[in-house]
Amino acid sequence: MEPLLNIVLPVFAIVGVGYLAGARGLLGEDSSAALNRFVYWVALPALLFRSMAGVDLAEVFDVGFIAGFLGALLVLWLIAGLLARLLFGHGLVLATLHGMNGVYGNSGYMGIPLAITAFGEAAALPAIVATVINTAVVVGIAVVLIELGQKKGESAGRVALNLGSSLVRNPMLAAPALGLLYAATGLDLPTPVDAFTGILGAAAGPCALFAIGLFLVGKPQSEGRGEVALIVAMKLLGQPLLTAAAVFLVLPTDPLWAKTAILMAALPTGAGSFVLAQAYGVYVLRTSSAILAGTVIAVATLSVFFLIFPPG
C-alpha cells in the first residue's frame, strides 16, 4: 500500500497545487492553455521522440503481450465510443475522446514505477512496451479520428489532402514517428540530443498535471457526472478485466508480462488525454474530471489488484 500511495499521491498533489495557484490568482486566466501548448508542442514531443528512439525493436516485440494488451484496449475503446454515441449523442470527435479517456492510462508516471516497485526490474520492459502502445498507437488513432471528425462535410479528396497535411504537422504523431525511424538505425542518441530531449521531456508530465489543476478553477464539477463515472468505471474496471481475459485466456503469455499488462490497463486516465483535448478545444472539462476522479479512486482499485497479484 505504501508504494502505491507514494506514487499516486504526488500525481494528485501536482493537480492540487495547480488548482491552488489558479484559485489564488498567481497565474493569469490563460495560463492553463499556455502551459498546455508548451506540453503539446515542446515537452511531450521531446518525451515521445526520446522514448521511441531508445526502443529496441527486436526486444520489445512480444506478440502475445502486444496483441492481448492492444486488442483489449481497442475493443473497449470501440465499446466506449459506441456508448458515447448511444447514451450521450456524441459525434466522432467527442466519442473518440470519451473512449480515449477510458483506455489511455497514466503509464509513464505511474505505471512504470509501480510495475518495477511491485514486480522488480524484469517488469520494466513490458511496462515500457505498454507505454509505447499508449503513446504511439492510442494518441495516433485519436489524432486521426479527431481530424476526420473535424473535417466532416468536406469532399473525400479534400479530406484526404487536409488530413495528410494535418497529420504530418501534428507533433504528437511526428515526434514518435521520427523516434522510431531513428531507433531502426540501431544507434544511440548523441549525448547532447539525449540530454536536451530528456530535460524537456521530464517537464511534460508535471506541467500537464499542473495545467489540469489550473483549468479546474471555477469549473462546475457536477457537470457530466454520469459520463465521467462511465469513463472511470471502464478505465479502472473494464479495461483490466478485458485485458486479463486476453492475456490469460485468449492469448496466454508469460505470467510476469501478463500481470504487468493488467496493471498497466488498471491505471487511471493519463494527462495526455487532457493535453489532446485542450489542444483541440473539445471535451476538456470531462477529461480533466475523469483524470482527477480516476486518480483518487485508483488508490482503492489498484489495492485490490495487488491483493490478487501480490508484489514480489
Answer whether 71's CB lies under 8 Å from 265's CB: no
SS3 content of the chain, % helix, strand, coil (to 5): 80, 0, 20
Q: What was the pLDDT predicted at 180?
A: 81
Enumerate residue ranges in the chain where pLDDT < 70: 1-4, 58-60, 151-170, 172, 220-223
- Give residue 60's pLDDT: 67
Tell me the domains of the chain and their CATH numbers.
2-308 (1.20.1530.20)
pLDDT value at position 238? 96
List, for residues 235-270, the tens digit of each pLDDT value: 999 999 999 999 999 989 889 999 999 999 999 998
* Contact partners, residue 53, CB within 8 Å, separation at least 6: 178, 179, 180, 182, 183, 189
Joined grid coordinates for residue 151: 473535417
Q: How much is the pLDDT for 84?
A: 94
10's enclosing H/E stretch is: helix 2-23
Assign 233 to helix, strand or coil.
Answer: helix
pLDDT at 125: 80
pLDDT of residue 283: 92
Residue 49: what pLDDT? 86
Check residue 223 and give its pLDDT. 67
Q: Would you state the pLDDT for residue 103?
A: 95
Helix, strand or coil, per DSSP, at residue 311: coil
